[in-house]
Amino acid sequence: MNKYTGEYRQIVNELIKKSFPSLKNRKILILEINHPIYWWSWAFAFCFFKMNMIGVSQRTRKMDLISKRGLFVHELCHIENFRKNSRRHGTFLIYRYLKFLFNKSYVAQNERQTDIESIKKGYGKEILHLKIFVLKKESQKMQERRKKMGYLTPEQIKQYMKKFKNQRNLKVK
């Protein structure tokens, strides 16, 4: 473990304790990856049977803390969602990964829902900060690709933040 993965571990543990009770007793491996195939992504989550992993690009080192929290909230939502919806046997898990690899509309739906779930959990500010950070670092072509992949735009994030804030205010009254 280097100083960066130690920092990431601390962020993940804090987020799990605060907002992901279903992941409390799950071991989540955090790896920092520097590989040419991995140039287009900042992070990914992977689950298979009892294994849970978050892979993080070395580019993440340059992120500010709020953006890192947004990144890890997003990935933890993937893991939580996967664990919640995949209580079946290994064949289903393999089917789901194949669908994720080859079905672009499934990926778009999944990424969008994960962003929305992150905002519902109260991390809209972090997701927005992450989005703005990423948009500043990436080319126009990559930004268009992310949009097609289903990630929310800053404007959409703000709309969802407002929507969920209003829903919480309605429940309090």
Q: What are phi and psi of 63, to 5 degrees?
A: -75, 150
51-57, strands of its sheet edge to edge? 28-33, 51-57, 43-48
pLDDT digits (tens, 9 = 90+) for 79-133: 898 877 665 545 556 666 667 666 777 777 888 899 999 999 999 999 999 999 9
Percentage with pLDDT > 90 across the chain: 40
Query: Where does 16-158 show beta strands of DSSP type E?
Result: 28-33, 43-48, 51-57
User: Structural domain tally of the chain?
Assistant: 1
Per-residue pLDDT, averaged over 46-57, amounts to: 81
Q: Determine which of 14-18, 70-74, 142-146 has the lowest per-residue pLDDT on average.
A: 142-146
Domain around 69: 3-172
Q: Which of the residue ranges 22-26, 37-41, 108-112, 165-169 would you say has the lowest mean pLDDT?
A: 37-41
User: What's the whole-model pTM score?
Assistant: 0.84
Residue 7 binned pLDDT confidence (cut-offs 50, 70, 90): very high
Q: Whole-angstrom Cα distance, residue 173 to residue 111?
A: 32
Phi, psi of 53 (to 5 degrees): -140, 145
6 has a pLDDT exceeding 80: yes
